[in-house]
Amino acid sequence: MSKLSVSIVGGSGFAGGELLRILLFHPHVHIQQVTSERLCGKPISRVHPNLRGITKDKFCSLDALKPCDVLFLALPHGAALKNWPNYLQLAHRIIDLSADFRLRNTATYQHFYGQEHPYPELLEQFIYGIPELHRPEMENARFISSAGCNATAIILALAPLFGDGLIDPTHTIVEVKGGSSQGGNKPNQGSHHPVRSGSFRSYKPTGHRHTAEVLQELRHASNLSPHNLNLHMTASSVDAVRGVQATCHTFLNAGVDEREIWKAYRKWYREEPFIRLVKERDGVYRYPDPKLLTGTNYCDIGFEKDPLSNRLVVISAIDNLVKGASGQAVQAMNTMCGFEETTSLSFPGLHPL
């Protein structure tokens, strides 16, 4: 069986580095080219030192790209749109890791990203990149838009509750905490180490752009209209490099007990290879912890019911660069191309770390 030719546009960033780490060990993939305009001609291991001795390839420029079977776009938000006609000529299948094609509604895109979408006709052609919710569509897809990291953690935590109608769909509050690698490999004032070290900072109390993805996908899971579903999200940065933890405050409908909650999660995720339900009643690891998921494509989900009210607190955790970005993109590629979905993604993490 001949290998799939794969190229990566924007391979010098954190997401590009994780794509390389995963795909270099994929038995059905040959990495054809990796671009970086800034590092063109330089060895890949110069910027990704963990790949020393693993690959001797060098970065190339966009102009040097040749046609391939699958093209990954690991570019900053907005960058893929600038060269989209060229990418269409290079590959029949494209997986975009940015936010450029995640939203179906053009007005919602304009609201959250401050501009009109230049290719509105393509939005319906892109499949939103969470395989657990869109596997059948991915199997015949040409274009996949990989989901945001915060959105992934929230959607996977809440989809069974919204989908099975167990909670009040108009009243959900989510606090997401993420590591510094969410900001990419170009430092800014907020990610500069002396400023960020030791800090717990709420950087987006309202209006986080991933809110749009979450609402879109929870509506898909529940078939609720926009007027019957609402969610409030706050995002904070913590003193860590990797990881996302979402703490979701939901409110159960009358008469819903813990047995029904477990039944919903098992129904939705029993066959899912990358969803792990955390059920421990005691001990330090009784709630999902992003640290345990470093380098993995797993999403851990647990919950606790407030004994004094109808509040249900759902906690989920992922590695933002893997299940929240590159790992999930490879999972989507595996589904799209008919490979075993877990191929090259079975790393279980490290403990202690």
| Rounded alpha-carbon distances, angstroms, from residue 291 to 8, 122, 221, 303, 318 | 27, 37, 29, 18, 9
**Residue of 272, 273, 301, 271 whose CA lies nearest to 286:** 301
| Residue 344: how many other CB atoms lie within 10 Å | 22
Active site residues: 149
The residues, ordered by sequence, that sit 6+ positions from 231 with a Cβ below 8 Å of its Cβ are 154, 158, 172, 173, 174, 211, 214, 215, 218
Cis amide leading into 169 (omega within 30): no
Strand partners, 315: 247, 302
